[in-house]
Chain A
Amino acid sequence: MSEFSALSEAVIKGDIQTAVAETQTALDAGSNVQDIVDKGLIAAMDQVGEKFSTGQMFVPQMLRSAKTMQECMKLIKPLFEEGQLSAKGKVVIGTVRQDLHDIGKNLVAMMMEGAGFSITDLGVDVSPKDFTQKAQEVGADIVAMSALLSTTMPAMRETIEALQEAGIRDKVKVMIGGAPVTENFASEIKADSYAPDAGSAVIAAKKLLGIS
């Protein structure tokens, strides 16, 4: 049992009040702040993602857990200097050009943030150029793209080509997902990974970056 098990449990349950109180208690007790994040919050969200992927938890519960973690982070973030909080990796995420669907993309962004990645969410209707520029600007490790329409899936290929042209394709891993997107399509356009849901996206992202 980790010393933060009560905190973890509260995050899994989505009990904001208890989780925030537990975070405060841990801070008051002088616990290492990075430990609170890693062993308390992220460990909890890892479990949430796993339970979601295996059908033991559902979207509203996942959202609630993510919200709980965000509330805890509000206490923690001011204690870190800019950039000092160690992130698992930098992810630039968005829904591709001419596609306005964001529900799935938002779930993936939220779970990745919960897993400790630093997220830059470009929103919907993101052009290949915007993906590429932002990836260069933040030094992204992963570019994650979503499409919900068969007509917008080709924009994923174009984005990968844009990354290539900008000379950063070998510096970033590309993940894709969305209802019409398949594993086959991912290999066809030479994306590095395909994920069918938010829980799997986290697992895939960690695998891509060699994080356990």
Chain B
Amino acid sequence: MIIVGEKINTSRKSIAAAVEAQDVDFISEVAREQAEAGAHYIDVNAGTFLDKEVGYLCWLVEVVQNAVDLPLCLDSPNPKALAEAIKHHKGEPMINSISLEKERYEALLPVVTDRPCRVVALCMAETSMPNTVEERVQAGAQLINKLTNEGIPLEKIYLDPLVQPVSVDTGMGTAVLGAIQSIMNDLPGVNTICGLSNISFGLPMRSLINRNFLALCMNSGLSAAILDPTDKQLMATLLSTDMLLGRDEYCENFIEAYQSGHISGLS
């Protein structure tokens, strides 16, 4: 499982305050704690700053890569911010995200083909959010077709099936699980990635729902997740699921995380 640490997002108040104050120490610490907890990528998102987003995102790239030796997930719906931020990034970033929406696709294509990177691609049609498994799979296949034709290797594409709240439509869980399964079966080599928290919008006990959903997604073949790696219960779910799926020889990772205090069954 590839873990993308989600904590450096200016939709969180403490992060927004630190970014505005240009607090290098605070941001560095949030980056380090996620790296220590097992993140493979550190997500950086300054989208809430609108006009100031581009400058702040570039600043975050510099600060985080000075603090940790990891690639970043550059996260913005704004192609301009991504195009600038990638110039500051050392190594191979993950770009989050491209979609079939015409304007976004056309603006991002030169960015993601200019240099080696990984690309998160949203499984939505050009003009609507997906509901069914088929809509997701179809949009995903279309994106893969287009992006591989542009020379992006299949294994560098991360399809995001777009998690929507199960509170609004109880079919939303199985729609994502079915899409992951179908994508991973039909297109060997491609990656799937998603965030978890949308699934539990509008419901009580959200973190429990998110954890169970993560386990189900992993069982369906999910290969990467955007989450908080410092959440010990969530990481316990992730590592125990990996173990139960036969991907942790001698149960080493699970036991190691337990012994080092990185995971816990208690909240």
Q: Which residues of A contact B (CB under 8 A)?
A: 55, 58-60, 62-63, 98, 100-103, 106-107, 124-125, 149-154, 179-180, 182
Contact = CB atoms under 8 A, between A and B. Distances in A.
17 contacts: A59-B168, A59-B201, A60-B170, A60-B203, A62-B202, A63-B167, A98-B103, A100-B127, A101-B129, A103-B168, A106-B168, A107-B168, A149-B77, A150-B53, A150-B77, A151-B76, A152-B77
Contact of B204 (A58, A150, A151): A58
Query: In the complex, which range does the number of interface residues on chain B fall in?
Result: 20 to 34
A149 B48 CA distance: 9
A63 B77 contact: no
B165 interface: yes
Contacts of B201: 59, 103
A70 B80 CA distance: 45
A105 B203 CA distance: 17
Nearest to A106: B168
B135 to A, nearest CB: 12
A107 B164 CA distance: 14
Interface in B147-171: 164-165, 167-168, 170
Contacts of A153: 50
A187 B48 CA distance: 15
B122 to A, nearest CB: 10
Contacts of A152: 77
- The secondary-structure label for the interface of chain A is loop
10 A-B pairs with least C-beta separation: A59-B202, A59-B167, A150-B47, A151-B77, A149-B77, A151-B78, A60-B167, A100-B129, A58-B203, A103-B168
B168 A63 contact: yes
B73 interface: no
B267 interface: no
A56 to B, nearest CB: 10
Given A59-B201, A60-B203, A180-B11, A103 B50 contact: no
Contacts, number: 58
B200 to A, nearest CB: 10
B124 interface: yes
A182 B129 CA distance: 24
B259 interface: no
A150 B78 contact: yes
B12 to A, nearest CB: 12
Q: Which of A101, A103, A154, A182 has the most CB of B within 10 A?
A: A103
Contacts of B124: 100
B128 A100 contact: yes
Given A59-B168, A60-B167, A60-B202, A180 B47 contact: yes
Given A98-B103, A125-B127, A150-B77, A103 B203 contact: no
Given A150-B50, A150-B77, 5 more contacts: A63-B168, A100-B124, A100-B129, A150-B48, A150-B76
A103 B78 contact: no
B224 to A, nearest CB: 22
A58 B202 contact: yes
Contacts of A102: 129
Nearest to A99: B77
A151 B168 CA distance: 25
Contact of B167 (A55, A58, A151, A154): A58
Interface string B12-51: 0000000000000000000000000000000000011110
Contacts of B202: 58-60, 62
A152 B48 CA distance: 11
A96 B202 CA distance: 22
B223 to A, nearest CB: 26
Contact of B165 (A100, A103, A125, A151): A103
Contacts of B129: 100-102
Contacts of A98: 101, 103
A60 B167 CA distance: 5
A112 B211 CA distance: 33
A179 B11 contact: yes
